[in-house]
């Protein structure tokens, strides 16, 4: 070899240095991975090997105030298919064939069930429910043969009373994207069920419970490793929730409302000579002593059972069709109606507490009120029905529902506004109008009590004849017309407030919610008594507007004080309204009834309330007969 020894040594040294540096590089990299950056790799290794399996907690039941079950759960053994996983299987057809044989259903039927559009791809689809123990166990034990298939306990809502109290109870559905964003921190996941409306939504936190989680160790193929799971957190069933609602009163209220609407449809409107349409309505029963909702009915209604496992598109389309009058809406909270003469309670309280009138102040009701210093048809206001009532004081004005008397009060409130301010509006607000009631249910509307500022801003968006406030506006407001709109719940709560002596509670539906006082209407007995008497006589005196409706009612068993109302709605038949409380001197119930396009309150709405009061009094319930009142 010709290479000099010296050169050879040098080259060997170079080899040695190269080898040494390569080993050093490996050591440096090891140090980086196992010391400097180890923590992130530990985390990655942990997530690698763990799979979380969730089990839905059975949802809590919903009970009425006496412990009767309103919403229950059914636990059933089901075979479910994950569409998401199935679509990713190479042997999906094989698995489906196996499954259809096991469940003894045809392939077409199985495909149809898997394709059910009610389920999102995140929610396992129950293709068979109430399966036998054998089938259930077989699928559990042969997971290798049934990828994407699972045997699970499915918990489903059941409604022992059918569609009773549907709006109050609400329904449950699969969580949507926006709900997921809002609730992510509460541990909700795609495909979870969540209360969508009513009590199901209000008490979601209690009802839901917490899902069970099993931590399983899985290998790289995603197969569960034999042996004990890494951790098991058992599902915590949701808590039962007790409502203030009374199942029997709710039934009574719903039946009465439905019958009342049917009865109204048989009558003919004397204005347009057509049968009343009476398509919809609402009735509310409150406890004036604490604001508890004893019953709340809205017609038309829907069946919450339709929403189990997602609602079928055609059913939902029918529920959303305007021709079906929006059965999903809870009109007790969301329906805005002119209260008509039932609003005279507010005008009366406003006038007497400000000393504008005394109990014995009388006027002569000739059936017509002419606004002084004003000429033309727009300056003349008439009683509904055109009657004249002669000399009327406050009590009688309420009993017979003298519009002329209240026109006068309305006019004076505006003309003497220097002294009385916006008295009607102020009192109306104390009774809870023009603001949300504070009930926990969602969708609660505030309604409108108009005043000069309101009109001005309202007319910026809507074409008005004039955006100024006139005496006529006050006159209309005084009898619950014009722009006044209220919800049936607000109306019941206003009468509850008057009935209990002036304490305005927030209506509540949860038995565990403490009563909450929102405001107080200051009334001395001397101020309150003439109005209360007027309300009592509307029922009991032979010229009272609800006398006919309550004819034969056992008033001594449960004496009622109430007021009829008939509200004109442009382009529609009149809204029938009635609001009352009983027993009159120490009320336990306050009731409002509002019926769309159903005529006089005394004729259509009062009989509904009468039937409810009769039931509450423990008296035999008779079929609804239309009353004779003309307001």
Partner 1 sequence: MAISSPANIGRGNAASAWRHVDLSLVVTTLLLAAFGLLMIYSATRSRLDDAGLDPQYYLQRQALFVTIGLGVMLVAALVDYRVFRDFAPIIYAGTVGALVLVLALGSVHKGQQAAFDVGPFQLQPSEFAKVSLIVCLAAYASSIRTEVDGRKLLVILGLAGLPMGLIYLQPDLGTSLVFAAILLGMLLISGVKARFLVALLALAVVGMVAVVHFGVLKDYQYKRLTSFLDPQADTTRSAYNLAQSKTAIGSGGITGKGLFKGTQTNLSYVPEQHTDFIFTAVGEQLGLAGSVALLALFAVIAWRTWRAAALAKDPAGTLVCVGVLAMLTFQIFENVGMTMGIMPITGIPLPLLSYGGSSTLATFAAIGLVLNVHMRRFT
Binding site for partner 1 (CB under 8 A): 1-3, 7-9, 11-12, 14-16, 18-19, 22-23, 25-27, 29-31, 33-35, 37-38, 40-42, 44-46, 48-49, 217-221, 225-226
Phi, psi angle pair for 164, to nearest 5°: -60, 135
Residue closer to partner 1, measured from CB, 22 or 315: 22
- Which residues are CB-neighbours of 466 under 8 A, at least 6 positions away? 459
Residue closer to partner 1, measured from CB, 221 or 465: 221
What is the smallest separation between the CB atom of 83 and partner 1, expressed in angstroms? 24
Contact at 8 Å (CB) between 224 and 150?
A: no
Name the token pair of 417. 């506004």
Residue closer to partner 1, measured from CB, 12 or 190: 12
What is the smallest separation between the CB atom of 32 and partner 1, expressed in angstroms? 8
What is the smallest separation between the CB atom of 150 and partner 1, expressed in angstroms? 22
What is the smallest separation between the CB atom of 16 and partner 1, expressed in angstroms? 5
Query: Measured between alpha carbons, how far is residue 313 from residues 82, 323, 400 in Å?
Result: 21, 17, 50
What is the smallest separation between the CB atom of 227 and partner 1, expressed in angstroms? 11
Compute the distance between CA of residue 123 and CA of residue 112 in angstroms, rounded to an integer.
Answer: 16
Residue closer to partner 1, measured from CB, 221 or 462: 221
CA–CA–CA angle 370, 427, 561 (5° rounding): 85
251 alpha-carbon distance from chain centroid: 18
Considering just the CA atoms, what is the radius of gyration of the chain in Å? 35
Sheet containing 212-217: order of strands: 50-55, 212-217, 231-233
For 462, other C-beta atoms within 10 Å of its C-beta total 7
Compute the distance between CA of residue 540 and CA of residue 534 in angstroms, rounded to an integer.
Answer: 10
Contact at 8 Å (CB) between 348 and 531?
A: yes
What is the smallest separation between the CB atom of 6 and partner 1, expressed in angstroms? 12
Name the token pair of 178. 């926006």
What is the smallest separation between the CB atom of 226 and partner 1, expressed in angstroms? 7
Residue closer to partner 1, measured from CB, 15 or 117: 15
Contact at 8 Å (CB) between 362 and 397?
A: no
DSSP 169: H
Using the Cα atoms of residue 433, residue 438, residue 439 and residue 440 in order, give the sign of their dihedral.
positive
Contact at 8 Å (CB) between 298 and 443?
A: no
What is the smallest separation between the CB atom of 218 and partner 1, expressed in angstroms? 7
What is the smallest separation between the CB atom of 50 and partner 1, expressed in angstroms? 9
Residue closer to partner 1, measured from CB, 42 or 465: 42
Least Cα distance to 221 among 141, 121, 147 occurs for: 147
Contact at 8 Å (CB) between 169 and 70?
A: yes
Residue closer to partner 1, measured from CB, 34 or 586: 34
Residue closer to partner 1, measured from CB, 41 or 320: 41
Between helix 92-103 and helix 107-114 the angle, nearest 10°, is 110
What is the smallest separation between the CB atom of 29 and partner 1, expressed in angstroms? 5
Residue closer to partner 1, measured from CB, 185 or 226: 226
Phi, psi angle pair for 221, to nearest 5°: -85, 0
Residue closer to partner 1, measured from CB, 29 or 274: 29
């Amino acid at each position: 070899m010709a290479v000099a020894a010296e050169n050879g040594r040098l080259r060997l040294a170079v080899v040695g240095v190269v080898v040494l540096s390569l080993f050093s590089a490996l050591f440096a990299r090891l140090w980086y991975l196992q010391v400097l950056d180890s923590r992130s790799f530990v985390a990655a290794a942990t997530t690698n090997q763990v799979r979380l399996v969730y089990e839905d907690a059975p949802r809590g039941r919903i009970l009425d105030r006496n412990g009767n079950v309103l919403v229950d759960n059914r636990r059933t053994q089901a075979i479910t298919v994950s569409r998401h996983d199935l679509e990713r299987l190479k042997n999906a057809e094989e698995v489906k064939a196996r499954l259809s044989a096991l469940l003894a259903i045809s392939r077409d039927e199985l495909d149809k069930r898997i394709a059910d559009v009610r389920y999102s791809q995140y929610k396992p689809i129950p293709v068979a429910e109430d399966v036998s123990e054998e089938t259930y166990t077989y699928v559990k034990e042969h997971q290798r043969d049934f990828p994407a298939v699972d045997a699970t306990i499915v918990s489903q809502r059941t409604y022992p009373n059918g569609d009773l109290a549907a709006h109050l109870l609400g329904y449950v559905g699969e969580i949507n994207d926006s709900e997921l964003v809002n609730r992510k921190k509460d541990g909700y996941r795609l495909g979870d069920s969540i209360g969508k409306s009513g009590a199901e939504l209000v008490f979601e936190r209690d009802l839901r419970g917490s899902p069970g989680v099993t931590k399983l160790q899985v290998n790289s193929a995603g197969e569960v490793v034999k042996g004990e799971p890494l951790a098991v957190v058992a599902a915590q069933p949701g808590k039962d929730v007790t409502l203030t609602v009374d199942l029997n009163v709710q039934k009574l209220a719903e039946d009465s409302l439905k019958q009342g609407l049917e009865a109204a449809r048989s009558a003919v409107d004397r204005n347009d000579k057509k049968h009343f349409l009476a398509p919809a309505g609402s009735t509310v029963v409150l406890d004036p002593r604490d604001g508890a909702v004893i019953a709340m009915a809205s017609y038309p209604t829907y069946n919450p059972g339709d929403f189990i496992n997602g609602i079928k598109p055609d059913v939902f389309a029918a529920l959303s069709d305007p021709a079906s009058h929006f059965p999903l809406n809870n009109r007790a909270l969301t329906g805005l109606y002119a209260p008509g003469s039932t609003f005279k309670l507010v005008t009366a309280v406003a006038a007497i507490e400000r000393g504008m009138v005394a109990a014995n102040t009388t006027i002569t009701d000739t059936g017509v009120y002419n606004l002084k210093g004003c000429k033309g048809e727009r300056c003349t206001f008439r009683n509904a029905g055109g009657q004249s009532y002669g000399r009327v004081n406050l009590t009688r004005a309420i009993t017979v529902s003298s519009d002329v008397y209240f026109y006068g009060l309305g006019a004076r409130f505006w003309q003497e506004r220097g002294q009385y301010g916006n008295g009607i509006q102020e009192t109306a607000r104390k009774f809870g109008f023009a603001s949300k009631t504070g009930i926990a249910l969602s969708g609660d509307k505030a309604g409108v009590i108009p005043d000069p500022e309101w009109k001005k801003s309202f007319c910026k968006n809507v074409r008005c004849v004039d955006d100024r406030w006139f005496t006529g506006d006050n006159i209309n407001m005084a009898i619950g017309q014009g722009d006044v709109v209220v919800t049936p719940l607000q109306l019941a709560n206003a009468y509850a407030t008057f009935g209990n002596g002036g304490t305005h509670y927030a209506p509540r539906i949860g038995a565990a919610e403490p009563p909450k006082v929102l405001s107080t209407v200051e009334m001395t007995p001397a101020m309150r008594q003439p109005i209360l008497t007027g309300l009592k006589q509307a029922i009991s005196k032979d010229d009272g507007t609800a006398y006919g409706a309550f004819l034969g009612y056992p008033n001594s068993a449960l004496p009622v004080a109430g007021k009829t109302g008939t509200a004109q709605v442009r382009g529609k038949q009149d809204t029938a309204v009635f609001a009352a409380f009983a027993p009159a001197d120490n009320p336990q119930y306050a009731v409002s009834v509002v019926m769309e396009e159903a005529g006089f309150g005394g004729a259509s709405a009062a009989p509904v309330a009468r039937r409810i009061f009769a039931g509450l009094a423990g008296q035999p319930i008779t079929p609804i007969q239309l009353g004779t009142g003309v307001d």
